[in-house]
Structure 1
Amino acid sequence: MNNIKKQQGFTLVLAMVLLLVIAFIINGVQQDNLISSREISNIKDQAAATRAANAAARQIERWLETTNTALTPLNYTIASCPIPCIGIVKPMARDMQTITNWAQFWETKGLAIDQMPATGVINTTNSFSSYSESPRSVTGYMGYDLADSRGRGEITDPEERSRHIGPHYYQINTASTGNSGQSLSVVRTTMIKRK
């Protein structure tokens, strides 16, 4: 009879050990699922941020294409631009590399900026209502008929050069957060507008 009690105690200890092992396995699986869910969420958020930044860049490009007048840059660079920087700035190449602060990008939601009507701005109400913030951008005027690597410009006629007929170069910098605000995507493009 004493032997039966020892076996029942051993069975109880064995069952408890197995239960503990199963609990550790289940806990590990749950943590893996949680990490996987977070990774998927981060990937989706980054993709959403990239889509929004690309959409903002395309919107600015369309606006530059359809504007008939030459766009005069404002009289400051990124370094001296108030925050948020509203309008077209005249950057030096190193200035545009220093845009790291989210506040330096102007918010596109309903703003009328330098020679840009509010109706030409991205419709944030319809397109980006689920995002934590609207996409933002800074457009920089790089110059007229920039020289190539050999120091030659495209326009050789002095009369056309004096009237600035030909290519004008703009650098478009856009940024957007994703739906949760955990990601930030920045898109930089160069556009040539011919007058």
Structure 2
Amino acid sequence: MDHMRPITIVGTPVLHTPCRPVEKFDDELAALADDMFESMYAAEGVGLAANQIGVDLRVFVYDCPDADEVFQKGVVVNPTLELPPADEQEFDVGGEGCLSVPGPRAALGRPNVATVHGFDLRGEPITVVGTGVLARCFQHETDHLNGILYIDHLTPEAREAVMTEFRELQGRPPADDADRT
């Protein structure tokens, strides 16, 4: 039975530290992935890392469109990210948001092709190439597992604008130091 879990919000320590590798590929891991999909769909997201529901493990799920607008769905355990060489990268400067920073979005340039290597839920090696929004998703979710949020890539001014909007939407004071991570 799937269980929707609450999304962890910016400022929570588990979001800001690298996650532990998965060592056991078992029913518990499969149940976690099911819960992650349920939580992602409930929050209307296209990707979700385990630490976004408070679990310190290197796992992410996705159900996200590629450059051809075809939705791709999967689970990647212990992912590593591969990007094209710097001189071959083409960037997409699209708007990016995050379920853990609900509300605001910001322009963030990311390579429009990204490959993840990792394992499926049975521990079998997998490689998935993402293009378009799916490439952005792979980079975003892998960042999460490394303790990095998309706002960490922004200029100080853009980050402050996102955090100000986030605090306003949460009904919190403008200078809430708990959000400074």
Q: TM-score with structure 2 length normalisation?
A: 0.23
More strand by share: 2
Q: Max radius of gyration: which structure?
A: 1
Q: Which has the higher helix share?
A: 1
Q: TM-score, normalised by structure 1?
A: 0.22
